[in-house]
C-alpha cells in the first residue's frame, strides 16, 4: 500500500521534487532520486528535510494527514483533476475545498495548496500511487 511506504519519502529544501530516503547519517541523509535512482548525500547544515508522513493540513477542528488528502485527490482525479500550479488562487482554493471541505481557511495558505498539488502531481507522474490498490478497494 502506498500509504505505508510514504514514510520513506522526503521533500528537501532547495531541491525540486520528492526523494526516497536511502540511509540516515548523523549529519544528513543519503537520498535517492526517483527518476534516475542515483543516490547522493544531503547535509543537514544546508537543507531541511520534510518527511511526507509527518505533513498534515489544518482543518476546522483538527488536522488531516497528507496521505488522506492524497487519497481524496486520487478518488476525485477522474472527475476533478488538480488545476495547474499557476492557476488563479481562487481556482486552487476551490479545488482544495472540493478535496478537503473542512480545511482551515485561516491557516492554509496558497503556498500550502500549491505544494500539496505539486507533490501529488510529482508522485502521480512517477506512478507512485499505482503500485498498489487504493485503500477503499481493500475494505
Same domain (yes/no): 44, 63 = no
Res 139 pLDDT > 50: no
Same domain (yes/no): 127, 60 = yes
| Residue 12, domain CATH | 2.30.30
E strand spans, the chain: 9-12, 18-25, 28-33, 39-43, 49-51, 56-58, 63-65
Nearest to 14 by CA among 40, 66, 38, 49: 49
Res 136 pLDDT > 90: no
> Total domain count for the chain?
2
Same domain (yes/no): 65, 128 = yes
Domain-terminating residue out of 51, 74, 91: 51
Residue 138 lies in a domain: no
Same domain (yes/no): 59, 43 = no
What's the grid cell of residue 80? Answer: 476533478
Give pLDDT, residue 131: 61
**What's the domain range around 36?**
2-51
How does DSSP assign 47-105, residue by residue?
Answer: --EEEGGG-EEEBSSSEEEHHHHHHHHHHTTTTSPPPPTTS-HHHHHHHHHHH-TTB-T
Instruction: Please state, rounded to an integer, the average pLDDT across all residues of the chain.
Output: 92
Q: Can you say whether the dihedral through the CA atoms of 126, 131, 134, 137 is positive or negative?
A: positive
pLDDT in tens, 80-123: 999 999 999 999 999 999 999 999 999 999 999 999 999 999 99
DSSP 3-state of 64 = strand
Same domain (yes/no): 35, 97 = no
pLDDT in tens, 65-92: 999 999 999 999 999 999 999 999 999 9
How far is the C-alpha of 48 from the C-alpha of 73, rounded, in Å? 26
Residue 11 lies in a domain: yes
Q: Are 50 and 60 in contact (CB under 8 A)?
A: no
Bridge partners of residue 115, in order along the sequence? none
Same domain (yes/no): 65, 121 = yes
Residue 111 lies in a domain: yes
Q: What is the model's pTM?
A: 0.88
Same domain (yes/no): 61, 39 = no
- Locus of grid cell 473542512: 102
Same domain (yes/no): 26, 39 = yes
Same domain (yes/no): 26, 90 = no
If pLDDT is split at 50, 70 and 90, which confidence band does 61 have?
Answer: very high
How far is the C-alpha of 109 from the C-alpha of 75, rounded, in Å? 23
pLDDT in tens, 6-17: 999 999 999 999
Amino acid at each position: 500500500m502506498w500509504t505505508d511506504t510514504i514514510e520513506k519519502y522526503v521533500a528537501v529544501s532547495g531541491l525540486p521534487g520528492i526523494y526516497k530516503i536511502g540511509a540516515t547519517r548523523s549529519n544528513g541523509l543519503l537520498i535517492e532520486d526517483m527518476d534516475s535512482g542515483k543516490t547522493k548525500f544531503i547535509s543537514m547544515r544546508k537543507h531541511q528535510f520534510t518527511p511526507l508522513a509527518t505533513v498534515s493540513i489544518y482543518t476546522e477542528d483538527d488536522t488531516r494527514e497528507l496521505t488522506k488528502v492524497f487519497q481524496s485527490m486520487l478518488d476525485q482525479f477522474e472527475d476533478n483533476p488538480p488545476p495547474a500550479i499557476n492557476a488563479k488562487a481562487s481556482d486552487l482554493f476551490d479545488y482544495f475545498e472540493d478535496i478537503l471541505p473542512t480545511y482551515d481557511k485561516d491557516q492554509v495558505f496558497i503556498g500550502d495548496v500549491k505544494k500539496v498539488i505539486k507533490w501529488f502531481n510529482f508522485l502521480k507522474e512517477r506512478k507512485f500511487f499505482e503500485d498498489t490498490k487504493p485503500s477503499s478497494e481493500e475494505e
